[in-house]
Structure 1
Amino acid sequence: MRGIPRILISALAAGALSTALVACSSADPEDDTATTSGEEETTEEPTEADDGAAMGDVELSTADSSLGEVIVDGAGLTAYYFSNDVPDSGVSACEGECLVNWPPITSETETPVVEGVSAEVGTIPAADGSFQVTVDGRPIYLFVGDAAPGDVNGQAVQDVWWVIAPDGTEIRD
């Protein structure tokens, strides 16, 4: 009789652990719509047209900052224009050491998932085989000096790096 409760407890604990591991592996930490305990989780296969949005893979959106509403990447980090880039040229002027400090915002597809950006969003080929995201034909970048969402530490660096408004204009404050 003494072994039965211990076996039952072990089986229940193993089942709970298995359930917790499955829930953790399928939840997106960026997705604030994840289910909480007691809610039934449903899984839907995304269609071709909405696969990124359905999976929470938004690559560009907008957020508030000390400079107003700005374009941010999927992690909420501020996007920047480089004044040396030529709009609609299909190439980035940032190379070598520039890319160390100003990594491009990239997408795995030619059609990034976008929310809240009214400017035209596209891509150009990136050196690593992915696609560098463009806004109004201009490549966009992150700044390594921005550690958290809302940071705008790259604003006006060397008078050539500019935060981007949702309509695609440079913010020059």
Structure 2
Amino acid sequence: MTRWIRHQRACAAAAAAFALLGAAACGDSDGDSGSPYGADPTTAETSASPTPTETATAEAPASLGTATDDDHGEFLVDNDGFALYLFTTDTPNTPTCYDTCATAWPPLLTDTADVTAAGAVDAALIGTAERTDGTLQVTYNGWPLYYYTEDDEPGETEGQGVQNVWYLVGPNGDANTTDT
């Protein structure tokens, strides 16, 4: 995914968040019990209708790698070094983050099931899941992978532990819950 597309997604997500939900729309990482994506989870949209973020198609095959920092240890990143997250309410190979959720947490999309691996990534754990709009979302150990729009630069991990349901993904395929 090019920086331009990522920048456009981030700008669109920020505008929507401020316009519809206010400055705190995406929650924070203090572990309170609010929504994982800025709305009451009992009333948040979870329909199959795609948002503008979801209607974008992947430009090329995805590539997974790993990064390491002092706070979180080793975690998955995309080919540009942006952190990838899992949503603990997803089920294996079934994304559940759509609409408002996907505005704050865009899925990692690919145009092919041939996703490449680098670093400590276990290629046997890489897969894809079809989203309701027909796009392919990259999975790791069955977990659909997402970005966080608050991560503006490669290596940022602002989404770690948000609402106790969003976590970095460890190379073993599990939620990396360190320092949440």
Q: What TM-score results when the alignment is normalised by the length of structure 1?
A: 0.62
Cα deviation digits, residues 29-76 of structure 1 (max 9, x gap): xxxxxxxxxxxxxxxxxxxxxxxxxxx966111112331111001111
Residue 114 of structure 2: aligned partner: 111
**Distance verdict in 2 for CA 1:99–1:58, change over 3 Å:** closer
Residue 91 of structure 2: aligned partner: 86
1:130, distance to aligned residue in structure 2 (A): 3.0
Residue 68 of structure 2: aligned partner: 64
> Structure 1 unaligned runs (5+)?
1-55
1:95, distance to aligned residue in structure 2 (A): 1.1
**Are 2:99 and 1:96 aligned?**
yes
Map 1:33-72 to 2 at 5 A.
Answer: 59-65=63-69, 66-72=71-77
Report the AA paired with residue 95 of structure 1.
Y
> d(CA) in 1 for partners of 2:62 and 2:103?
24
Q: What TM-score results when the alignment is normalised by the length of structure 2?
A: 0.60
> d(CA) in 2 for partners of 1:83 and 1:121?
18
117-126 vs 94-103, which moves further: 117-126
Retained in 1: the 8 A contact 2:67–2:74? yes
Cα deviation digits, residues 68-118 of structure 1 (max 9, x gap): 11100111100101010012xx32111110000000011110121121202
1:142, distance to aligned residue in structure 2 (A): 0.4
> d(CA) in 1 for partners of 2:73 and 2:64?
16
**Distance verdict in 2 for CA 1:148–1:68, change over 3 Å:** same
**Which residue of 145, 159, 162 corresponds with 1:154?**
159
SS at the partner of 2:89? coil
What is the percent sequence identity of the aligned residues? 36
Residue 43 of structure 1: aligned partner: none
Retained in 1: the 8 A contact 2:64–2:115? yes
Residue 144 of structure 1: aligned partner: 149
Residue 3 of structure 2: aligned partner: none
Report the AA paired with residue 98 of structure 1.
C
> d(CA) in 2 for partners of 1:108 and 1:73?
14
> Structure 2 unaligned runs (5+)?
1-59
SS at the partner of 2:101? helix
Retained in 1: the 8 A contact 2:61–2:114? no
Residue 37 of structure 1: aligned partner: none
> d(CA) in 2 for partners of 1:128 and 1:74?
24
